[in-house]
Each structure stands twice: as structure tokens, then as C-alpha cells.
Structure 1
Amino acid sequence: MVTAGFDVDGIIQGLSNFRGTVFPGQQQMYQRLVRDGQQPKALMIACAESRVSPEHIMQSGPGDLFACRNAGNIVPPFSQQNGGVSSAIEYAVVALGVLDIVICGHSDCGAMKGLMNPEALGNMPNVAAWLRHSHAAKQIVCEAYPEGMDPKKRHRAVALENVVVQLNHLRTHPSVATALARGKLRLHGWFFEIESGQVLAYCGERSRFIPIAEATGVPVAQASASRIATPEFAGPHAGPHASPQTGPEPIPHAIAAE
């Protein structure tokens, strides 16, 4: 028997307050959105976690963000099997023409805890199957990070590496690959720390996460720059999105964010 659930009275009160108090002051904005249609500049792929609200974090309003949320902020690699995330990505890039895609992970992520403790998913086969798309993040931490890490730091490292893994999956989608090649799209990897409110951004040039508050501008995982591989069609300024790595092997992404 359910002993506690939705606060129905609270929901009704909230809806009533929106309709009677909030909406009248924003009615012209909503009418404009209906008249002109949606024109979001960014797609944000975030976790379904109830403590993480993309619109709240970015202080954005209606029409600003095209949001897609799921357990673990996962982007399955492109395949012929249709899915909600793949469809949202294609629609955002092709139909809406978004200029930026943000994958946003967060601290204390239950999905990443499940990834690291698969025995806890014994009665959740669909969740276990979904988290296979994050297996690379788990393997990176298990094999490339120091042994004997504190469990909390280990979990944080997996959540950070998962953002980078999903960015790599995102590049496999034809709509994204085409927009990147045309220099019409930027990719971002963010990590929201619930306990402090700080947001880290993945810097593709440095292969690490950087606190946005400490950066000059917002670091990007992949900048907007046209890339044509065939020499006879490549212009004088066409080139890779980021310079090749030189020097010593880069520090694992999550360690660099400490």
C-alpha cells in the first residue's frame, strides 16, 4: 500500500498559482512562442535525476533549451534501432538547428552507482541493459586510475568519465557528424556538483574538466570549426577541431578536475 506519494494538493496549488499569478505576467512571451515557434539555441542531454534541473541550473526560460533527460545522461551510439535520445538529437540538429549540444552529468549519480555495483540491478534488467552504454567509463576508471581510490572519489571519477564517453557516442550520429564537419555545431560536456552548485566544463584542448567560474569563457569539448578530410575539397582554413595531443600522456579527465 502506498503511504506517501504525490502531494496532489500541493500540485493543484502550484498549477493554480501559475495560472493565476505567474502566467499573466508572461502571457505575451507564451503567445510569442506560439506565434513564432520554438527556436532553442542548445540541446541539453541531462540525467533524469530529480535533484538536477537543467532549466534551473542555467536560469533559462521557456523556449531557451531543448532538453532530453534519461538515467545517466546517456547517448547510445548511432544504430539502426530507433530510440528517444537519437530522435531528440536528430530533431534538435536538423529541424531546430541548435548551435550547441551539452551533455550534463552530476555528482552523487544513482545511475553511475548502479554501473559500479551491478548486483544492485538484479531486479532492474532494463536499467542494467541501458547502463551498458556507460561501460567504457567504468573500465577507464578500473584500469587507468590509481588502485585503492576512495569509493566517493571513484564514483565521481566514473560520473565524469561518463560525460566524455557520451560525447564520443554523440559524434557517431550522422546529423551531429555532418553539423560538426560544416562548422555549425559545438559540443559541451558539463558536470554539476549538487552539493556546491559548481559546474565543471570539459575542455577538449586540455582533455580535462575545468570549473566554469575559473575559466575565461566557457570551455568547449569540441569547438565550431569546419572539417573536410578530402584534400581537394578542404579549404585553406579547414582542419581538425582540436590540435593533436603531443607530449606526455594526458591525465585522466576526472583526476584533472580535482
Structure 2
Amino acid sequence: MQINDLVKGNKKFREARFSKYETDLKQLTKDGQNPDILFIGCSDSRVTPELVLDTKPGDMFTLRNVGNFVPPYNPDNDYHGSSAVIEYAVNVLNVKHIIVCGHSYCGACRSLYKDLGDSSELINIKKWLELGKKAREYTLLAAPDKNDKEYIYRTTEKVSIVYQMENLLTFPYIVKRVKEGSLQIHGWYYKIENGTIEFYDGSDCTFKPLEEFKNES
């Protein structure tokens, strides 16, 4: 994919696909956005939420970052891009659902097991990866075979989702909404290799096929 391909792609979108969404987009520009879902996913170029979930413009408010990590609540008046997205989605858009969606073959989770050295060029990445530290520690503690790298990587990806869900519950306004029953938090795991998604079932702490997911709201 080259930059010129993007130019051609936009032309193709305007000529062949825009009409499919034109009515919705005009309504959205008039009334503003009102999504019910905040989707927190990874910046990985292989992860394409709109394609995988067959959504249209206005359906989801989206946060993508390295590793689909959620930083704990920290009201220190510094720059917090991911937290700002969460804050806006919950307090301004009043979303009803937050989905933390991890994925297979995640480079961030794999990097938790690498020595990134002391390069200043990776200083922000190294700090950000600390948000996956608990998932790494738990996985290594529970792994039956610490030499089984694929098992460790896949397990870390799923365990990390659970810890990021827990980090969401450090935000006071999220806790309040959850207790009121007006906000739900979900953990999903997307398999790049076959397009399937599993959801985290907190009742027995396992990931199950999305087809088994049931929700009334």
C-alpha cells in the first residue's frame, strides 16, 4: 500500500461507496454523533473494527492505541490522550457499553517479553508497555510450560484484556455508571487469523465464542 493508493481509494469511495452512507452522514452532521459504544482496540494495522464488526459511521466511538491498553485514572492535569477519549465517551456521549478488544499476534504483548534496551527513541513505548506488566506476571506464574512461547503470548493477550477492564474501574465516573446499571464493560478477543471473536465471561473467568454472548441492553 502506497500513499497514492490512498488517494485512489478516496476517489473510489466517493464515486462508488459514499452514496451508501450519504443519508446517515448528512443526518450525523446535522444532529451530531450519538454512539452507544466505546470501542477500545489496538493500533495494529491488521485490526479493522469497522470491517470486522460491519458497522457504519456513527455506530462506535473508537480509541486505538498500542496494545489496547487502558491507563489507570490519574487526575494530575497532564496530557492523557487515552483517558481523554474515555472521559469524553462516558461523560459527554454517555455511551452504554465499553468494549476492550485485544487480538491475536499482538506485538505489544509480545514486546512484554523482550528487552527493548535503553534507547531514548523507545522511551514512550517502554513506559506505555508497563500497562501490560501485570498480564505478563500472571501469565508466567500460571503457565504450565514457560518455554511454550505461543501459549504464553496468546494467554498474555487475553489476560491483558481483563486487566485493562479492571483499569477502567479506577475511573470514578465509570464505577458510578456501572453501579447505576447504565454502563457495561466488555472484554473481547479478536483472532486475526480467522476473523472470529471471543468474549470474556466473568462468571467463570473464561473466553467464549461471541455467538454465545447474550445481552439485553
- What TM-score does the superposition give when structure 1 sets the normalisation length? 0.78
Checking the alignment, whether the CA contact within 8 Å between 1:46 and 1:105 is kept in structure 2 is yes
Partner of 2:46: 51
Instruction: Point out 4+ residue stretches in structure 1 off by more than 6 angstroms.
Output: none
CA distance in 2, matches of 1:183, 1:27: 35
Partner of 1:109: 106
Checking the alignment, whether the CA contact within 8 Å between 2:199 and 2:213 is kept in structure 1 is no
1:24 counterpart = 2:19: yes
Deviation at 1:26, TM superposition (A): 2.5
Partner of 1:197: 195
Partner of 2:68: 73
Secondary structure of the 2:11 match is helix
1:137 counterpart = 2:135: yes
CA distance in 2, matches of 1:49, 1:212: 21
CA, structure 1 residues 108+150, in 2 after alignment: closer, same or farther (shift >3 Å)? Answer: same
The residue identity in structure 1 corresponding to 2:135 is A
1:157 counterpart = 2:155: yes
The residue identity in structure 2 corresponding to 1:179 is R
The residue identity in structure 2 corresponding to 1:32 is Q
Secondary structure of the 2:112 match is helix
Partner of 2:30: 35
1:88 counterpart = 2:80: no
Partner of 2:125: 127
Partner of 1:228: none
Max Rg structure: 1
Secondary structure of the 1:124 match is helix
Checking the alignment, whether the CA contact within 8 Å between 1:121 and 1:128 is kept in structure 2 is no
CA distance in 2, matches of 1:155, 1:104: 16
The residue identity in structure 2 corresponding to 1:114 is S
| Unaligned residue ranges in structure 1 (runs of 5+) | 1-5, 225-258
CA distance in 1, matches of 2:54, 2:16: 20
Secondary structure of the 2:47 match is coil
Identical counterparts, % of pairs: 34
Moved more, 68-77 or 82-91: 82-91
CA distance in 2, matches of 1:150, 1:34: 51
Secondary structure of the 1:93 match is helix
**How many aligned residue pairs are there?**
214
The residue identity in structure 2 corresponding to 1:93 is V
Checking the alignment, whether the CA contact within 8 Å between 1:201 and 1:209 is kept in structure 2 is yes
Deviation at 1:216, TM superposition (A): 5.2
- The alignment yields a C-alpha RMSD, in angstroms, of 1.8
| Unaligned residue ranges in structure 2 (runs of 5+) | none
